[in-house]
Structure 1
């Protein structure tokens, strides 16, 4: 373990970041934004999870005019996975509060202060959530635009009070907890390679944690996900929903998923019925991607987003049916 830019001990909050082969410019942007935080008494624990090159030698010093940032870097020679890496980071912390962000997220200067304030004023076990938004004035690829739009609309509902913060909103891109509560539930389930944050959120809710959402505790997510990886994530999400349902039956994950699928737009549900044959589904997915990309290039955004909703729905429900042996709601 290497300590860089000063000691990270005696802090009130530690920011835990798991990283693996993230381009230097993105990780540097993430750390530079943390150097600009208005709250001074925090540290950063950076877990290098089996990256090709050790991170410690290339973590830069603070730019002129910015205070040094206490960073501890720990390296795994072989990847342990995101959940295990974050657990490892929390184990190194002795701060009362822990904030998780992703290594491609850029935080607003008040992020740490607002999460700390939410946790310190809570009367009991608490979780503080903030929005993960698309970078301002950036034209994202259409598939990551779809991700950002979906999240943005849910965050808007939370900000207006139309939706209640809950364990289903727990994303490690912007999530703060009391370290004692995190340890009390056993941390992240290291068997899960996806949705380990949502599953952790359920166990925190079972502990009695109250969830709060602060629309001003913002990080901007500059995703570089490819189209191929995005389409794979839909299927992976379905398989991990099934796994979570098996590992934590009282979460009733599949029942909630099926209820949500049954409430989706009638055109999506019609498409599921029409695309039951594998060849029809493959043609529909390929066609929707092509149309969605073209419409996005022409700045016709709402139909483009609808096309990618169709792609996600068909890929997700296909994997769900394969994993469960039961048809998706139609």
Structure 2
């Protein structure tokens, strides 16, 4: 990847892909303008939006901080867009963020401190929902799952690793990113986790700072959320095809370690029609329970939705060792 150095003296570049989300992008940039550290630059990659991103950002905001805009005339996806941003970086360190993430004031300073400690390093921080909001139940399910994992990371119960690499909040050395080849654009989703896998194989250490926070105000729809477990299953299959030691036995172990009620339900809905019926019923029940403020039961219903959808997609993709009708 070629380096294009700027004249602003930045030692850390924040790369943000975007596409036709002016309000979210402006809020994201405003938070970066108010960081506690300096010597940073923002690289915004407009992924073929209807209107050029630089024309959507208020002039006052553009004048108050170093921002470089790059435009893809046609969409190349988030992975390809982040690669273009990294190619334009002249800084030794890169932080990847999404255009709907709001950085805590000390976010960049904390990533910089972790990366300057030396050696191949990937710096991770939590992606949290803004406090005080009543979220849709599927977004609440995501936030609850992530929140529990972040607590385990903060207490040392879990160790940070490649499966915790999310492009909403991750920092790394540009040289390490270049050395592993950047994002693999064959992955339409979970390209960040796949990158994390190659960074781990390269020898990077992973650090987690619970105070390196971004706030994620997700606007994901239920329909969009229901596609995620399908993408996750296809990701695991593609990883098996591309990575010789992708350790898919970990998928088997994770499935067999899930709650007994989930494991007991799977054999009852092996046929596709039964699976779709069960998923639809669980979605409806979860939404009603959430409306009634019975959040624990609502989250359990959406755990069932995720589990059944993922397992069906995994079986359809004929992952070796996990076939249609498997007892997983």
Q: 1:8 to 1:14 in 2, by over 3 A?
A: farther
Matching residue of 2:11: 12
Q: Cα gap change, 1:100/1:109 in structure 2, threshold over 3 Å: closer, same or farther? A: same
Per the alignment, residue 3 of structure 2 pairs with: none
> How far does residue 207 in structure 1 lie from its aligned partner after superposition?
1.1
Runs (5+) with no aligned partner, structure 1: 1-6
1:112 matches 2:111: no
C-alpha displacement at 1:67, in angstroms? 8.2
Query: Which position in structure 2 is the counterpart of 1:102?
Result: 98
Q: TM-score, normalised by structure 1?
A: 0.94
**Aligned pairs, how many?**
319
TM-score, L = length of structure 2: 0.94
Name 2:33's counterpart in structure 1.
35
Correspondence for 1:271 among 265, 289, 293: 265
Q: Residue 4 of structure 1 aligns with which residue?
A: none
Per-residue CA shift, 1:126-152, capped at 9, x if unaligned? 000000001111111100110111001
Task: Indicate the residue corresponding to 1:196 in structure 2.
Answer: 191
Partners of 1:210 and 1:161 in 2: how far apart? 15
CA displacement, residues 237-260 of structure 1 (integer Å, 9 cap, x when unaligned): 1112111221112222x3221211
* Partner in structure 2 of residue 178 of structure 1: 173
4+ runs deviating over 4 angstroms: none
Aligned to 1:144: 139
Distance in 1 separating the partners of 2:49 and 2:254: 37
Q: Specify the SS of the correspondent of 1:220.
A: strand
Once the two structures are superposed, the pairs formed by residues 1-330 of structure 1 within 5 Å of their partners are: 9-22=8-21, 24-62=22-60, 68-122=64-118, 124-252=119-247, 254-324=248-318, 326-327=323-324, 328-330=326-328
Tell me how large the CA RMSD over aligned residues is: 1.5
Q: Report if aligned partners of 2:287, 2:298 keep a CA contact under 8 Å in 1.
A: yes
CA contact (8 A) 1:83 1:188 kept: yes
Q: Within 1, Cα distance between the matches of 2:260 and 2:194?
A: 29
